[in-house]
């Protein structure tokens, strides 16, 4: 068997752009989408939906949703490359473990996703960032299901 020469590394000819013909993607996702202000808008819009959905709202232990708003905002901004305040204040995210105390079934997951989809849509992100954010949120929602009972 003959060893074939390995060609020298060539940079990728692919350039990811914010939109068709738009600026190239630069920086981390947190910066690309507008930082904390964007995640605050996302989470507040999401929780407006949660507050109007009694079956989903019932799994939130606090009457006041503000602490949940702050936790989710902090988590998302840290996950996407922003400040590490969430872990500094609360430790490792351990999402599944933190949600085990709550009954999360497929109906609640679907309700969560419906409100989160509306919140993501309200941001009017460029297609690449929208798809990236949504793919993560969808995977996370499916991972939180811990029962198939009503």
Report all structural domains of the chain as residue ranges with CATH numbers, in order of start: 29-144 (1.10.490.10)
Residue 87 has pLDDT above 90, yes or no: no
Whether 40 contacts 122, CB under 8 Å: no
Q: What is the mean pLDDT of residues 61-80?
A: 92
Determine contact, residues 144/115, Cβ cutoff 8 Å: no
Q: What angle do helix axes 127-144 and 106-123 make, rounded to 10 degrees?
A: 160
In the predicted structure, residue 112 carries a pLDDT above the cut 70: yes
Q: Is the pLDDT of residue 23 over 80?
A: no
**Dist. CA 21–CA 66, nearest whole Å:** 40
Q: Compute the average pLDDT of residues 29-49.
A: 96
Rounded Cα distance, 145 and 63, in Å: 23
Choice between 99 and 126, residue whose per-residue pLDDT is larger:
126
Q: If you average pLDDT over residues 118-126, what whole number do you get?
A: 97
How far apart are alpha carbons 50 and 30 in whole angstroms?
A: 24
């Amino acid at each position: 068997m003959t060893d074939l020469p390995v060609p020298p590394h060539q940079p990728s000819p692919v350039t990811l752009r914010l939109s068709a013909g738009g600026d190239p993607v630069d920086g981390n996702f947190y910066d690309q989408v507008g930082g904390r202000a964007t995640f605050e808008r996302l989470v507040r819009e999401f929780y407006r939906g949660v507050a109007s959905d009694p079956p989903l709202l019932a799994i939130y232990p606090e009457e006041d949703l503000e602490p949940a708003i702050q936790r989710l905002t902090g988590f998302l901004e840290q996950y996407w490359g922003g400040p590490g305040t969430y872990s500094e204040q609360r430790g490792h995210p351990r999402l599944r473990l933190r949600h085990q105390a709550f009954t999360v079934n497929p109906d609640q997951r679907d309700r969560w996703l419906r409100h989160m989809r509306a919140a993501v849509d309200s941001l009017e992100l460029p297609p690449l960032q929208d798809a990236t954010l949504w793919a993560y949120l969808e995977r996370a929602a499916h991972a939180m299901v811990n029962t198939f009972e009503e």
